Amino acid sequence: MSVEALYLLRKTEPRPGPQDLDSVVVTADVLTDDGDAVPAGTEGTIVGVYGDGAAFVVEFIEPLGALANVAADGLRLVERA
């Protein structure tokens, strides 16, 4: 295999949307799996992706280790992992 072919295989394309471990902000209030409220503007980390990015599992620092399922239109990307 040529060096050029290896380079093309190694080359990464930009991802189309948020992925695991990306930092995001919720754009509307959400409820965690435990029923705690997380206000709009809270930053979290994506820890799961459903249906090719239709929805995400987001972990928040407050309340400690809180998880929430959030639709794609309820998130804004802050930083890629």
Average pLDDT over residues 66-78: 96
User: What per-residue confidence (pLDDT) applies to 33?
Assistant: 94
Q: Which fold has domain 16-79?
A: SH3 type barrels. (2.30.30)
pTM above 0.85, yes or no: no
Q: Do 53 and 18 meet the contact criterion of CB atoms below 8 Å apart?
A: yes
In terms of pLDDT, which residue wins out, 63 or 1? 63
Q: Residues 40-49: pLDDT tens digits?
A: 999 999 999 9
